[in-house]
Amino acid sequence: MRYVVAGAVLRERGGTTELLLAQRSYPEAVAGLWELPGGKAEDGEDLADALRRELLEELEITVEVGAGLAERVVLRDDLTMLARWARILRGTPHAVEHRGLRWVGPDDLERMARTGELVPADEVWVPELAAVLRDD
């Protein structure tokens, strides 16, 4: 089984909690849509290590990886996606492999899910993400 690990990267700003989303550049089917940043774990790679590596490569940030979100998404028979909470330790996110980056609150996140602006596979996490964003 192979894994894709996504980061639910949070920050505190002005007394509110925000979530980092990244806009896909490819493949064409999802280009322009927004997602939790991350990527595929290498064979045998610890999933927390994979997320740290992917976020460093894709966003130029060093993160502390926390617990996993409740849901897992089966992308194919041999590929499962999961998400972990993450907090930036060093760096400012830059869109190295994405079209852009955006910090959102719960209302924006839920609107983006309703209007089809999120990568469909990430929509499963919207209720849990929005609940945490509101519970600051």
How many Å apart are CA 84 and CA 7, to the nearest integer?
Answer: 5
Quote the CA–CA distance of 110 and 125 in Å, as a whole number. Answer: 10
The total of other beta-carbon atoms located within 10 Å of residue 36's CB is 24
pTM of the predicted structure, to 2 decimals: 0.95
Mean pLDDT to the nearest integer, 50-64? 98
Q: Do residues 118 and 34 touch, judged by C-beta distance below 8 A? A: yes
Highest CATH level, class, for 2-134: alpha beta
Domains in the chain: boundaries? 2-134
Residue 135: predicted pLDDT: 87
- DSSP symbols for 31-59: TT-EE--EEEPPTT--HHHHHHHHHHHHH
pLDDT digits (tens, 9 = 90+) for 95-132: 999 999 999 999 999 999 999 999 999 999 999 999 99
